[in-house]
A and B are shown apart, each in its own frame.
Chain A
Amino acid sequence: MAITDDVLVVGGGLAACTAALSAAETGARVRLLAHKKSTLRQASGLVDVLGYAGGDGPFAEPYDGLDALSDDHPYHVVGEDGIRDGLRLFDEAVGDAYQGGHTDANALVMTHGGTMKPTARYPESVAPGLASSSGDMLLVGFESLTDFDAPVAADHLAAANVPFSVRGVTVEFPKSFRSDAKVTRFAKALDRDESVSGGTVRSDLADAIAAELDGETRVGFPAMLGDDHDDEVRDELADRLGVPVFEVPTGPPSLLGLKLEDMLFDALDEAGVRISTGNPAVDFETEDGRIETVIVDQKHRMTPYEADQIVLATGGLVGKGLDSDREHITEPVFGCHVPHPEDRYDWSEPEAFGDHAFARFGVVPDDELRPTDEDGAVQFENLRAAGGVVGGADVAREKSASGVSLATGAVAGRLAGEEATQ
């Protein structure tokens, strides 16, 4: 015996969650099998689809750039319908917490480095900071939160010729914590409106910023404005300052990423998806070209999981869905074929932000997202791939990481679910 389901999704990030939600829609019994805490925690919480391709961009709409992508790009496997289906699943999962679904257009969202990122969906707390919104901007950073240097970010934005004035100031947070305090500690202090000498965290913070305000009509903070009571925190600050406040997405562990993780896992629960986390899939057993069993290393002891259909959504090189040594790139769970130049000096370019070959490494999908071998033949009848493990996209340069995950997740999950419930 083994723990048995119709569809087993291996992975815990955006692609895996989307694949599981999509498969569950077909009526299949689905299990998500994730190793560590979701990589969504490390992510900005922004959902990009396509900003740049073939030397062009930023595109007004992600769909404008599809033709400029190379033929082996995953978007050409799933098509515009696949992308739209991925976004639909996302919108349904997160509800009002995200904006951007009202239009096909990209929004320009500010990053913590002060660049503008073309983005299809963004948390509502980010919305007042869009480049397309008018109004001069004050960015606020804190000595003790080194992730976000407000004056530097403001200078970057100004240098990009944004159509408003922007200024950055560094203030002291009303309450002092240990020097390496985490972003969640700041959020908690605002959530609870902890008292400090002379008032509370929220009121003192508002006072400190009011003293800096010089005609700006919106104020941006690193994403730390409350966790459980974030609406309340933003409302109170906006109220006290008399202008809207917004959050700038930050690096890991990112509060917006943590919140997105919670929302997606809640959506999985809602959809009846079963979840097993904490241990890696390490091996598998096959019969007649099909994967029968996935073996999970459950703290040194092996546990078999069985399913009719499998979706591989373990991520790319960064997410450890792909492994590398000095000579080879491998997909460690099922040993799927990952083409790469023999000479590893051809894997990358001399420039740090160059057109690196490694960025597009990944499994080569057939038109049903099944990984193929060197000869282009389907490797396993019942295995599909989604997200960063799929090759052909340079998601960092294209600003397409979330979109590729959503679209391939939606399609791989649906096909797996349909196959399993036939």
Chain B
Amino acid sequence: MPPIDLDVSAHEHARRLRAGEYSARALAEATLARVRAQEPSLNAYITVTDDLALAQADAADARLKAGDAGPLVGIPVGVKDLLSTKGVQTTAASHMLEGFTPVIDCTVVERLNAAGAVTIGKTNLDEFAMGSSTEHSYFGPTKNPWDLTRVPGGSSGGSAATVAARGVPISIGTDTGGSIRQPASLCGILGLKTTYGRVSRFGIVAFASSLDQAGPFGRDAEDVATLLGAFAGHDPRDSTTAPVPVPDYTERFDRGFEGLRIGVPDSLLEQGVDAGVREAVEQAIATFASNGAQVKRGIELPAAKAALPVYYIIAPSEASANLARYDGVKYGFSYPDGRNAEEAMAESRGRGFGAEVKRRIMLGTYALSAGYYDAYYLKAQKVRTLIQREYAAAFADVDLILTPTSPGVAFRIGEKVDDPVAMYLNDLYTIPVNIAGLPGISIPCGMSEGLPVGLQLVGRYFEESTVLQAAHAYGSVTDWHERRPPALPGA
């Protein structure tokens, strides 16, 4: 048997598995071997789940033999280590949860398992998903496969890096302020954040409950659409999931660029965007226009500029409440000494949480504290309403809003880690989308300084199909998503 080509898409693997060119077990073994060989360079995983993967692959082979044509049967997938996996350590990249073993699968993983996917491992992230670089991981930073001295973005950096490096074809991340789209951009792959309420949060370690959404990474629009279709939809265990039917997310692929009306908020792009990013995005706009999409320049989203402070009030406030559960008593890191219960709790949290998590807990605690609630939290929620209204007005004339995903390409490890304000600016274009709860995708649209550039397309509520139509159409006339990083040493 010739060696298995691991560079192909999930849908091509699915075709070859059904054609009997190789078994799910052989694919899992080859994938595990490559992932293991890449780990010394990338550190994309906190846990590689060999035994689970092989057991799931054997079950997939039985399904394939029985004629099961499900698109994810036997397909290797990486899962962000923020999603609970029954019997498999789930750390949130925190010392606080090191060794924590969930007794349930989260809904997303439960549905992936039911679809026959093969879990290769739990991917690295910024601790509790707080960060834009995956440097804030207790288990060390993940490296960008395009340049090992640079960050892969974050917080879902491990999930993005392993897909970009052709370790796994698809993976799962979560996105609270850009944590899927920004690493997709920095690693040169596709990543989709869904409409808030489209994907169940049940069993996912909570960061900011009104913003968090899990979503898919892939190397083409078809894989992203297929993966999303496997886990999207209402879940009685998460009352914020919407009772909206889940379509076939490839339903609009045959329309190409037809009927797409794309707005560009030029005034948002005036400051702080790297020249190479701006150039690649302009090229992409020209590509959309020359292929028949209608492009409207200069749409206005003035309040979107306020989304960054709104986010850094709302998200830490919700995080400070969500992370109150880590008290060193029921589970998680526990400081054994201390003069009394209160001191033991404070020491457990002081030692169990990393610097960025403590920073955000403190920020949220302050914003919610007596005398400041109206000035910060309530004010932020009112501006949130204005941002939503602005998007609603913009979507009266256009179907999609186009911006860069990130103002720059992947930055160097260590460059911004001690400057939170500079780090937060990475998410300037992704954060307003979470604040409004809209779906958005990042797709590769060029290279700058030898590093990938990503383009963000944002759609109306529950119109993931339109977002994916545009991503698919763009991918059918460009080959940026096929560019691959240099082979890693030893892999």
A and B are partners in one complex rather than unrelated chains: no
Binding site for A on B (CB under 8 A): none
